[in-house]
Structure formats: C-alpha cells, structure tokens
Amino acid sequence: MASFGNFTHAIVRGIPASLVQEALRSSLCQVDLVKAQHQLQLHIGTLKDELGLQVVELPADESLPDCVFVEDCAVVCGDTALITRPGAPSRRKETKAMKSALQELNFKIVEMKDDTATLDGGDVLFTGREFFVGLSKRTNHRGIEILAGAFKDYPVSTLPVFEGLHLKSFCSMAGPDLIAFGSSEPAQKTLKILQQTGDHHYKTLILPDDAAANCVFMNLSGKGQVLLHCTPEEYPNSAKVFERLTDHLLFPVPNSEMSKVDGGLSCCSVLISKTGS
C-alpha cells in the first residue's frame, strides 16, 4: 500500500486518423484530429517531462480506430500483466502490441483466452488494497473471474455500472484511500454499493461532473502526490474541487477530443511500477 501509485513507466499509443470516423462512440460530436493529437502530446509530455516517467510510445494503427485507449487492453499489478479480451470485437486486436510491450518490460503475462470472457481496463479500479471491477457493457462475470485468478493477492469485488461506458467513466483513485466519484444518481448508486462491499473504508472526493471524476493519481518519489485532472475550460466546477486539494501537485490536462469518443483521462496510458529497474 505504501507504494501505491509509485509509477515508473507508462505505455501510450498514437492516434490513428481513422479515430475521427470509426472510433466507437455514444455521441455524434466531431473529433478534431489535430487538436486530439496536440492534447495527447500534452498528456505524454506531462508524464515524461514533468513527472519523469519512462514512456513507451506504441505506434498508431489505422486498422484499429480506438487503439489510443490503451488502458482497456491490460491490467498491470505487481509483476503480472493481464492482457484483456476487450468487450468490443473491433478492439480485440489492440492487445497484440500491448502484450509485446509488456513482455519487453519483463512482466509475467496472463492472457484472457476464454472466448466467453470480456473485460476492459476502464472497468478496473485498483485501490492499492483491492480491486473493484465494473460489470458493464464491456466487462462480464467471466472476465472478472479471470482477473481475480490473475491477481490472487487482492480481494476483487464486482460493481454494477448503471450508466455510461465503464466503471471509471465516473470514478477513479484521487489519492491513497481517496476515491473520486461523480455526483450523478447512477454514479452515487454505484458508490453506495462500493461502500457496502469493499474491504476498507475510503474517503471520497465528489465531483459535480461524472467525466471529471476520471483523474490519474500517482505517488512519485521526489514529487509526492500527483494528480492529472480535468481543465477549468472543460469542467469549471469540477476543476475548482481539484484546485482545493492541498496535498497534491496538480496537472490540469485537456481531454475534450478523446471525451467525444468516450475516452477519459486515464484511458490514454497504462501506468506501471517497476521499482528497482
């Protein structure tokens, strides 16, 4: 637990032009590709230049319009990397490049081979003590069972996702034992269940906007507690809540273009702790 969020590496992937027309989405908003690429570069620059992480950049693949959303392809914890079987069939081939990158980094690879199982990393909330996994449009019971088998050292609880794409479309870790949650009714319903089922009592940070509750927490040596969060331009009321956090080094990161195709801030990286490497 002391080392929760102590990341050293990040895996990211470029944005293919095909994202604009072909990425899966729940809205009709038009993505500005140049702006999306600029926002991703700012995000990667924060990880690399501001925070000193070693960033592995996988190339975009035009045949995989959603490939920038790397979070969905792997769950990494300790020395194990679970390669998922994404819920959307059009996204399944994204895992190949992710598996190679994690093999290069010497992780013990577990593959979700059962073709009845589905799981997206966006449904996986790791608190440092336990896993909560969203049962959503993309993740099913069998996927969660395989995750529990891959990470036997931690309890795994299932949470319902009543609305939206993933569990982390409306929540994420914002600090040690601090969970950010959106304030919509469906998000609050899931929070109640989390509080009843979890092994531990967590503090909560409630954000006016569900999407803003998807932030990225790290606890880095030399930097302390770090939080990447929404910008005041995108979510002014939620940004104010983050700005009141005095224990964190705060980095507002723009995400307006990815959010048009249902991507949160956390979806653009797989964060890895390889201490001693």
Reduced to 3 states (helix: H, G, I; strand: E, B; else coil), residue 81 is strand
Per rule CB under 6 A, count of chain residues that contact ligand CIR: 18
CB 174 within 8 A of CB 207: no
Q: Does 23 bind ligand CIR (CB under 6 A)?
A: yes
Q: Which is nearer to ligand CIR, 37 or 249 (CB)?
A: 37
Candidate segments 42-50, 105-113, 140-148, 255-263, binder of ligand CIR by CB under 6 A: 255-263
CB of 117 to ligand CIR, least distance (A): 17
Is 138 annotated in a binding site? The answer is yes
| Residue of 226, 267, 271, 272 that binds ligand CIR (CB under 6 A) | 267
Q: Which is nearer to ligand CIR, 9 or 168 (CB)?
A: 168
Q: Which is nearer to ligand CIR, 69 or 251 (CB)?
A: 69
The residue annotated as part of the active site, out of 67, 171, 267, 268, is 267
Footprint on residues 168-227 left by ligand CIR (CB under 6 A): none
What is the biggest distance separating any 2 CA atoms in the chain, rounded to whole angstroms?
46
Strands of 122-259 (E only): list them.
124-126, 131-135, 156-160, 171-175, 178-182, 203-207, 216-220, 224-229, 249-252
Q: Does 71 bind ligand CIR (CB under 6 A)?
A: yes
- One-letter amino acid identity for 240? K
Candidate segments 68-76, 149-157, 189-197, 245-253, binder of ligand CIR by CB under 6 A: 68-76
Q: Which residue is nearest to ligand CIR (CB)?
A: 122
CA torsion sign, 67 to 73 to 76 to 79? negative
The residue annotated as part of the active site, out of 166, 171, 230, 248, is 166
Q: Which is nearer to ligand CIR, 20 or 249 (CB)?
A: 20
Tokens, residue 195: 């509080």
92 Cβ contact partners less than 8 Å away, ≥ 6 residues apart? 85, 86
Q: Does 257 bind ligand CIR (CB under 6 A)?
A: no
Footprint on residues 25-54 left by ligand CIR (CB under 6 A): 25
Is 24 annotated in a binding site? The answer is yes
Tokens, residue 92: 């399944």
Q: Which is nearer to ligand CIR, 72 or 257 (CB)?
A: 72
- Compute the distance between CA of residue 98 and CA of residue 103 in angstroms, rounded to an integer: 9
Tokens, residue 202: 């967590």
Q: What are phi and psi of 257, to 5 degrees?
A: -75, -45
- Told to judge if 201 belongs to the known catalytic residues of this protein, a careful annotator would answer no
- Compute the distance between CA of residue 59 and CA of residue 228 in angstroms, rounded to an integer: 23
- Told to judge if 166 belongs to the known catalytic residues of this protein, a careful annotator would answer yes
CB of 35 to ligand CIR, least distance (A): 17
Q: Is 177 exposed, middle or buried (0-12, 13-18, 19+ CB in 10 A)?
A: middle
Binding residues for substrate: 24, 66, 71-72, 91, 138, 261
Residues that bind ligand CIR (CB under 6 A): 23-25, 66, 69, 71-72, 88, 91, 121-122, 165-166, 261-264, 267
**Residues catalogued as catalytic:** 166, 267
